[in-house]
Chain A
Amino acid sequence: MERISFRKDLLNKKLGRRAFILGASQLVLVGFLIRRMRELQLQESEKYQLLAEENRIDIRILPPMRGIIFDGDGRPLAKNRENYRLRIIKEKAKDPRAVLKNVSSLILLRDERKADILSEIERKKPYIPVTVIENISWKDFIRVTVNLPSLPGIVPEVVFKRFYLEDNFLAHVIGYVGSISQSDLKTISTVDPILQIPDFQIGKVGVEKGLDSLLRGKVGLIRHEVNASGRVIRKLNEDPSSSGKDIHLTINTLLQEFAMYRIEEFSASVVVIDLETGGILCLASSPSFDPNQFVEGMSQKDWDSLRNSENQPLANRAISGNYPPGSTFKMLVAIAGIEAGLIDPEELINCSGFYEISDRKFHCWKALGHGDKNLVEGIQESCDVYFYTLALRVGIDRITETAKKFGIGMAVPLPLPGVSKGLLPSKSWLKTNYKKQWVKGHTLNSGIGQGFLLSTPLQIAVMIARLATGLEVKPQLVKAIDGKPVKNQNKRMIGIKKTTFSIIQKAMFNVVNEKTGTAYKSRVVDKSKILAGKTGTSQIRKISEEERLTGIKKNEELPRAQRDHALFAGYAPFINPKYAISVVVEHGGGGSKVAAPIARDVLLFALSGAIPALNAYPIDQRNEVRLTLDKIREKSALKKTKRG
């Protein structure tokens, strides 16, 4: 009944049709919504689930604590110190200028520093934190932290920063850490997630670099559930970091400090080796630098002056300085001769002041000649002509062979970057590198430790250690890793007759303790601390025949760069030796005059464990020595009071 009346109404029919079209199209549109939801929720669901997880979970890397470096007596040398710092993130700060202004109302922040920060912010991406200030006091840190709501974008952080307690006294040995550079990444082969931590510090120089993989430790991860504003809701799991291994070095800090003071005014190096363990007690190189400057960050000016300084304070002379060993090499020539049976130690060789070969004169340092000398006297008085004669008789091959046994020209496996091998020339070496034939003149030069021959102060110390003991002493710098002692190197006998060593050791005793010995002035009178050794003066320039006629210029008359290097290699006590030493003073002049006294002072310090007593010195030198030692005592006391 109702339906019939509806049909009659034409208009209503039209309305009904159009209403139906409307309703149907609305349902079609709902269909589109459902299709869209199917797309998002069913087809792309996996992708969005992943994104939701990423939203929800914040993975933070926990940097490990770097291992601590100690000296041989357990004194800390490199530690991690808390550094309270503030950083700013532009993205969150919105208006960094206003935020910095608020910060400066709480703590001291210079206007120029503010300008620096703002320009740095401009340069970097908006989400990268920029350091506002470092090393602020706990009080300031708290003051900023409680005011954080009014300081959007400011991130207060506590980070650990490397700190070197012995500043410039052990700079070359310990080195320093710094941020990873592009060139570092090229040399690091293993992929360690730790390296992705922003401004993570790795070892750059010294033990910090050499043992970086041990010191670095293992990175930890912490997974947090976070909300949209980054606030942590709960901890999901934590994989803690494990701190790096603690390293005990063999270094004796007190000895090192004394040696550094003793060579302070020179470009020089001192190496002391413990003959019992092979442990390096002192590895001093002067001038030095303060590694803390590198950690704190230094100005371009400071960096330039360090890098471009004529004295090269950044170079570790003790391990990378290449010097002709000079007369300190003569013992090895003598050993080669005796062992080969080519020289009777008692045989006398005449020195007239020079040795002539194919119309060329090879001079002795003593222009008037030494006269007839046997082997012990040849070493004792360091007669060059004796060793020219001997070297020619023995030949370069035997000399090279013997030198290798004593470590000359050999690599020294220490955990330090930049350890040099020196240079031990041989016939084949000359041929491959210079396309030249080895001639007798080359052998003569090698016989007195000159010519192509180069060695590091460390190698000279190793050589003298082996000469003093007859054992294959192998130097080591690491005493223990995480408390576990590093095994002593096997000390094998060097394949050389004991009687040969006795002759050489007697000669080295005479050098210091006989009136005609080149280092007689540096003798020790305390019978329990007798010093033995050998001086060396390595010549840098060529002396012309003309100059020889008019009189050779003294070192004092020459410009510094032309002066001879002064060397001394020795050990003490003569009976049951404990320590071996090598001292090299660049352009220091004569070894006997400059290097030997330093070696004596340092060895006496090592033997007595303190600044040596004056009664070990010859009576006539005590006043002079007292002046030197008092100066060091004063400086050392001043340093102690400075550090509180």
Chain B
Amino acid sequence: MHWPLVILVLVIGTFGFIMLYSVAEGDFEKWARPQIERFVIGFVFMIIIGLIHIDFWRVCSPFVYFFGIFLLIFVLFFGDYGGGARRWLEFGSFRFQPSEIIKVGLVMFLAIYYDWLQPAKVSKIFWVCIPATIILLPTALVIPQPDLGTGTLIAITGLTIMFVAGVHYLYFLGGLLLLPGLLGLIFYSRGTSWQLVTDYQFGRIDTFLNPTHDPLGEGYQITQSKIALGSGGLEGKGFMQGSQSQLDFLPQKHTDFIFTTIAEEFGFFGGVGLLLMYSVIIIFCIVSATTNKNKFGSLLTIGLTTVFFTYFFINIAAVTGMVPVTGVPLPLISYGGSAMLVVLGTFGLIQSAHIHRLLKRD
């Protein structure tokens, strides 16, 4: 067991409870208590997953992937609307997004693929097309939900594993050259009969490009978020003293925008402190991956670390107005059940890979 990692997860989770207590204006029952309950369940879940043998997860990998694909197809037809998109599945009182499952499934499936593939074939065009298809399938299913952000993240996560697995640089360079063309095509399609993304997605992009244009509409969130951050200053306004969050100027202050309250009440120190804790998790995991003799475990760790990284990076970049708002939670802190379980589950898998790192498979 990687104990420093376990402790770091506990510390960040606890910090989350404190913030949820603050944004609820001192109401423990509102968000903090349910969050603690879920965290405890997720934490036990993480330990159990970590203790299960890595070979079991290896076997599971294709099933997780295809189960995720199945759920994505299912949600397209039977999912619930939330925040303008059909991306939720509901089982009784339990709501979750299948796109969370597929992120893990994709990483597992690609890890087992490269574990299986002979290293010499990695850059052969045929053996590049197969993982590309594995990546494109869930991406193509998520975008029409519509969820451009998650689709992009899934693609980036997959490409990261391909990169680490040793696919030749030129493929990535080629892809990079194709990207501007693709973006151009998307914008060109606006308003035509074959529009590639929906009006809602264009609206999000517009808001990002010019948030002050419509201060009480879509850009309101981001404007208020920046005010909260900026007014926090170096040391912050103090615990439970953030006027922006306490007076409800921040929308989704307990979910996607919770980072703004952290930065408002604890200032630059608080925000950067959290970022450093996240960075230490990244470093721990990358170090663990590079010292892992088991290729599956190594790739799995790197992939899941990237998933974790994209969560907090996209979240904070969005609330600071660097990228469009895509509805990504702040991992381990934002209020919400399914994201919490998935994040703790991935740490379980990372732990399992770490525990069995010396097992070399032929």
Binding site for B on A (CB under 8 A): 2, 5-6, 11-12, 14-16, 18-20, 22-23, 26-27, 29-30, 32-34, 36-38, 40-42, 44-45, 47-49, 51-52, 55-56, 91, 225-229, 233
Residues of the A chain whose Cβ atoms lie less than 8 Å from the Cβ of B131 = none
Would B282 and A41 count as touching, CB distance under 8 A?
A: no
**Among B234, B247, B250, B283: residue with most chain A CB under 10 A:** B247
Given A11-B166, A18-B166, A30-B279: A41 in contact with B268 (beta carbons within 8 A): yes
Would B290 and A15 count as touching, CB distance under 8 A?
A: yes
Residues of the A chain whose Cβ atoms lie less than 8 Å from the Cβ of B229 = 37, 40-41, 48
Beyond the given A12-B293, A32-B322, please list 20 additional residue pairs across the A-B interface where CB-CB is below 8 A.
A5-B293, A11-B166, A15-B164, A15-B299, A20-B286, A22-B302, A26-B282, A27-B283, A29-B313, A36-B320, A40-B226, A41-B234, A44-B230, A49-B233, A52-B243, A55-B244, A225-B247, A228-B248, A228-B249, A233-B247
Would A18 and B247 count as touching, CB distance under 8 A?
A: no
Would B226 and A48 count as touching, CB distance under 8 A?
A: yes
Would B164 and A49 count as touching, CB distance under 8 A?
A: no
Would B267 and A52 count as touching, CB distance under 8 A?
A: no
Given A16-B290, A30-B278: A40 in contact with B230 (beta carbons within 8 A): yes
A6 and B216 alpha carbons, distance in the complex (Å): 57
Would B164 and A18 count as touching, CB distance under 8 A?
A: yes
Provide 17 A-B residue pairs closer than 8 Å at the C-beta atoms, listed in order of the A residue: A15-B165, A19-B164, A20-B286, A20-B290, A22-B160, A22-B163, A22-B302, A23-B305, A37-B263, A42-B268, A49-B231, A51-B230, A52-B227, A226-B247, A227-B247, A227-B248, A227-B249
Which residue of chain B has its CB nearest to the CB of A56?
B243
**Among A22, A29, A32, A56: residue with most chain B CB under 10 A:** A22
Within 8 A of A (CB), among B48-102: none
Q: Which of A18, A49, A225 contacts B230 (CB 8 A)?
A: A49
Given A26-B282, A37-B263: A45 in contact with B234 (beta carbons within 8 A): yes
Closest Cβ of chain B: how far from A55's Cβ, in Å? 5
Interface of B is mostly: helix
A42 and B309 alpha carbons, distance in the complex (Å): 25
Q: 6 smallest A-B Cβ distances: which pairs?
A: A48-B230, A23-B286, A52-B231, A227-B247, A228-B248, A41-B268
Any A CB within 8 A of the CB of B119: yes
Which residue of chain B has its CB nearest to the CB of A47?
B230
Residues of the A chain whose Cβ atoms lie less than 8 Å from the Cβ of B224 = 55, 228
Closest Cβ of chain B: how far from A289's Cβ, in Å? 46
Given A36-B322, A42-B234: A55 in contact with B247 (beta carbons within 8 A): yes
Q: Which of A14, A22, A227, A229 contacts B166 (CB 8 A)?
A: A14
Residues of the B chain whose Cβ atoms lie less than 8 Å from the Cβ of A48 = 226-231
Residues of the A chain whose Cβ atoms lie less than 8 Å from the Cβ of B232 = 41, 45
Residues of the B chain whose Cβ atoms lie less than 8 Å from the Cβ of A44 = 230
Any A CB within 8 A of the CB of B151: no
Closest Cβ of chain B: how far from A615's Cβ, in Å? 79
Would A51 and B231 count as touching, CB distance under 8 A?
A: yes
A233 and B272 alpha carbons, distance in the complex (Å): 32
Interface size on B, residues (CB 8 A): 50
Would B320 and A40 count as touching, CB distance under 8 A?
A: yes
Residues of the B chain whose Cβ atoms lie less than 8 Å from the Cβ of A36 = 317, 320, 322
Residues of the A chain whose Cβ atoms lie less than 8 Å from the Cβ of B289 = 19
Would A23 and B166 count as touching, CB distance under 8 A?
A: no
Would B230 and A33 count as touching, CB distance under 8 A?
A: no
Any A CB within 8 A of the CB of B32: no
Which residue of chain B has its CB nearest to the CB of A225?
B247
Closest Cβ of chain A: how far from B233's Cβ, in Å? 4
Within 8 A of A (CB), among B278-310: 278-279, 282-283, 286, 289-291, 293, 295, 298-299, 302, 305-306, 309
Would B227 and A51 count as touching, CB distance under 8 A?
A: yes
Would A37 and B166 count as touching, CB distance under 8 A?
A: no
Any A CB within 8 A of the CB of B158: no
Any A CB within 8 A of the CB of B271: yes
A48 and B233 alpha carbons, distance in the complex (Å): 9
**Among A12, A15, A44: residue with most chain B CB under 10 A:** A15
Would A45 and B230 count as touching, CB distance under 8 A?
A: yes
Within 8 A of A (CB), among B189-242: 216, 224, 226-234
A564 and B263 alpha carbons, distance in the complex (Å): 87
Would A37 and B243 count as touching, CB distance under 8 A?
A: no
Residues of the B chain whose Cβ atoms lie less than 8 Å from the Cβ of A16 = 290
Would B320 and A33 count as touching, CB distance under 8 A?
A: yes
Closest Cβ of chain B: how far from A38's Cβ, in Å? 7
Closest Cβ of chain A: how far from B166's Cβ, in Å? 5
A30 and B166 alpha carbons, distance in the complex (Å): 24
Within 8 A of A (CB), among B254-278: 263, 267-268, 271-272, 275, 278
Residues of the B chain whose Cβ atoms lie less than 8 Å from the Cβ of A49 = 230-231, 233
What 1/0 mask marks residues of chain B from 316 to 336 whose CB sits below 8 Å from any chain A CB?
A: 110010100000000000000
**Among A12, A26, A229, A233: residue with most chain B CB under 10 A:** A26
Residues of the B chain whose Cβ atoms lie less than 8 Å from the Cβ of A11 = 119, 166
Closest Cβ of chain B: how far from A612's Cβ, in Å? 70
Q: Which of A18, A42, A91 contacts B233 (CB 8 A)?
A: A42
Would B247 and A27 count as touching, CB distance under 8 A?
A: no
Would B271 and A41 count as touching, CB distance under 8 A?
A: yes
A229 and B248 alpha carbons, distance in the complex (Å): 8
Given A26-B309, A27-B282, A227-B248: A41 in contact with B290 (beta carbons within 8 A): no
Q: Which of A6, A23, A45, A227 contacts B282 (CB 8 A)?
A: A23
A32 and B226 alpha carbons, distance in the complex (Å): 16
Residues of the B chain whose Cβ atoms lie less than 8 Å from the Cβ of A22 = 160, 163-164, 286, 302, 306
Residues of the A chain whose Cβ atoms lie less than 8 Å from the Cβ of B282 = 23, 26-27, 30
Given A22-B286, A40-B226, A45-B231: A55 in contact with B275 (beta carbons within 8 A): no
Given A18-B166, A41-B232, A228-B247: A34 in contact with B272 (beta carbons within 8 A): yes
Which residue of chain B has its CB nearest to the CB of A3?
B291
Would A55 and B227 count as touching, CB distance under 8 A?
A: yes
Q: Which of A20, A29, A37, A56 contacts B271 (CB 8 A)?
A: A37
Given A48-B230, A52-B231, A52-B243: A41 in contact with B263 (beta carbons within 8 A): yes
Closest Cβ of chain A: how far from B226's Cβ, in Å? 6
A49 and B231 alpha carbons, distance in the complex (Å): 4
Q: Which of A5, A33, A225 contacts B275 (CB 8 A)?
A: A33
Residues of the B chain whose Cβ atoms lie less than 8 Å from the Cβ of A33 = 275, 313, 316-317, 320, 322
A33 and B283 alpha carbons, distance in the complex (Å): 17
Given A23-B286, A29-B313, A33-B316: A15 in contact with B231 (beta carbons within 8 A): no
**Among A20, A23, A47: residue with most chain B CB under 10 A:** A23
Closest Cβ of chain A: how far from B168's Cβ, in Å? 11
Residues of the B chain whose Cβ atoms lie less than 8 Å from the Cβ of A27 = 279, 282-283
Which residue of chain A has its CB nearest to the CB of B271?
A37
Residues of the B chain whose Cβ atoms lie less than 8 Å from the Cβ of A229 = 248
Residues of the B chain whose Cβ atoms lie less than 8 Å from the Cβ of A52 = 227-228, 230-231, 243-244
**Among B160, B231, B244, B320: residue with most chain A CB under 10 A:** B231
A44 and B224 alpha carbons, distance in the complex (Å): 14
Residues of the A chain whose Cβ atoms lie less than 8 Å from the Cβ of B295 = 12, 15
Closest Cβ of chain A: how far from B267's Cβ, in Å? 6
Would A41 and B306 count as touching, CB distance under 8 A?
A: no
Given A11-B166, A15-B164, A33-B275: A55 in contact with B286 (beta carbons within 8 A): no
Which residue of chain B has its CB nearest to the CB of A48?
B230
Which residue of chain A has its CB nearest to the CB of B267?
A41
Within 8 A of A (CB), among B153-175: 160, 163-166
Residues of the B chain whose Cβ atoms lie less than 8 Å from the Cβ of A34 = 272, 275
Residues of the A chain whose Cβ atoms lie less than 8 Å from the Cβ of B298 = 15, 19
A19 and B295 alpha carbons, distance in the complex (Å): 12
A45 and B290 alpha carbons, distance in the complex (Å): 41
A19 and B284 alpha carbons, distance in the complex (Å): 12
Q: Which of B216, B243, B268, B299 contacts A55 (CB 8 A)?
A: B243
Residues of the B chain whose Cβ atoms lie less than 8 Å from the Cβ of A228 = 224, 247-250
Closest Cβ of chain B: how far from A18's Cβ, in Å? 5
Residues of the A chain whose Cβ atoms lie less than 8 Å from the Cβ of B228 = 48, 52
